[in-house]
């Protein structure tokens, strides 16, 4: 039995335009950005990026542009902000949200593994929840370093999908669902890999900040809905297992006992003088 494509499948952020319903993924991003843990992690990312000292910043995989727009208030007068994303739909939404802003900000489409900017173009470069969706995270990090000036800051924020935990009475089924969800990502382990990848790329002054993000029932269900359906259609789970698992999760939430979360890693570093 073929798996019906869910256009809101959150494992498909690397192929947003192909879903033909970017609106669902945009809405998912807006909901996720309201979570206290993710907001805290993004504040750590901002603090470590030091945009006030950068004068220019690039957001790789900028999505709707919400983070970059918020960051502009930290840039000095005359500073510049640029965002790039592979999705034309995301860039259109970013431009819409940035229209009328009294600040130099630009958005464009492009490949994170081959950034359309010259060497040392920016004082700082960041990526948030992007590297888990790309086929070669090391190449993207190398490109981020290339476009950053010597002495500038490079930072990334990523979930470690294998750290996802859920309080659920069916432990065995929960383990199957959560472990295979991480494997469904291009780089489900990228959070724990970031410090090593930054060191191997030649970055210095590396900081590692783990943040626990607690989810909410509706958000968690939206995140896993497509994945559980794939497991059921692939006979990894029976229809009875899947429906029973969802029923128990909904009952936990209705009784006020829902608890789920994952670790976010914020890793920041400095590009040394000369090519790393």
pLDDT digits (tens, 9 = 90+) for 31-53: 888 899 999 999 999 999 999 89
Tokens 């005359």 belong to which residue? 78
CA 18, 19, 23, 27 torsion-angle sign: negative
Q: Which CATH architecture has domain 10-161+185-213+264-270?
A: 3-Layer(aba) Sandwich (3.40)
Residues contacting residue 93 through CB under 8 Å, at least 6 positions apart: 22, 26, 64, 65
* pLDDT at residue number 9: 55
Instruction: Find out whether 153 and 270 touch, Cβ atoms under 8 Å.
Output: yes
pLDDT in tens, 177-201: 999 999 999 999 999 999 999 999 9
Confidence of residue 20 (pLDDT cuts 50, 70, 90): low
Q: Where are the domains of the chain?
A: 10-161+185-213+264-270
Instruction: Tell me, yes or no, if the pTM score tops 0.85.
Output: yes
* pLDDT at residue number 26: 87
**CA dist., res. 191 & res. 125, Å (int):** 18
Residue 172's CB is within 10 A of a number of other CB atoms, namely: 9
pLDDT in tens, 84-126: 999 999 999 999 999 988 788 999 999 999 999 999 999 999 9
Q: How many residues does the chain have?
A: 276
Reduce the secondary structure of the chain to three states and give it as a string: CCCCCCCCCHHHHHHCHHHCCHHHHHHHHHHHCCCHHHHHHHHHHHHHHCHHHCCEEEEECCCCCHHHHHHHHHCCCCCEEEEEECCHHHHHHHHHHHCCCCCEEEEEECCCCCCCCCCCCEEEEEEECCHHHCCCHHHHHHHHHHCEEEEEEEEEEEEEEEEEEECCCCHHHHHHHHHHHHHHCCCCCHHHHHHHHHHHCCCEEEEEEEEEEECCHHHHHHHHHHHHHHHHHCCCCCHHHHHHHHHHHHHHHHCCCCCEEEEEEEEEEECCCCCC
């Amino acid at each position: 039995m073929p798996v019906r494509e869910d256009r809101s499948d959150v494992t498909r952020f690397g192929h947003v335009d192909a879903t033909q319903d970017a609106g669902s993924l945009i809405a998912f991003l807006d909901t996720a950005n309201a979570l206290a843990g993710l907001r805290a992690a993004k504040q750590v990312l901002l603090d470590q990026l030091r945009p006030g000292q950068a004068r220019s910043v690039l957001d790789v995989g900028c999505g709707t542009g919400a983070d970059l727009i918020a960051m502009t208030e930290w840039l000095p007068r005359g500073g510049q902000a640029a965002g790039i994303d592979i999705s034309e739909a995301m860039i259109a939404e970013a431009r819409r949200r940035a229209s009328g802003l009294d600040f130099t900000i630009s958005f464009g489409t492009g490949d994170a593994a081959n950034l359309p900017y010259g060497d040392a173009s920016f004082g700082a470069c960041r990526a948030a929840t992007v590297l888990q969706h790309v086929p070669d995270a090391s190449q993207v990090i190398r490109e981020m370093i290339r476009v950053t000036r010597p002495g500038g800051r490079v930072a990334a924020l990523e979930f470690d999908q294998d750290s996802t935990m859920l309080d659920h009475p069916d432990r065995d089924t929960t383990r199957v669902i959560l472990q295979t969800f991480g494997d469904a990502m291009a780089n489900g382990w990228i959070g724990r890999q970031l410090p090593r990848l930054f060191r191997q790329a030649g970055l210095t002054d590396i900081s590692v900040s783990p943040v626990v993000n607690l989810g909410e029932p509706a958000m968690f269900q939206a995140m896993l809905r497509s994945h559980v359906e794939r497991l059921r259609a692939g006979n990894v789970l029976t229809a009875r297992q899947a429906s029973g698992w969802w029923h128990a999760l909904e009952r936990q939430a209705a009784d006020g006992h829902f608890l789920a979360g994952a670790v976010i890693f914020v890793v920041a570093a400095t590009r040394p003088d000369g090519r790393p």
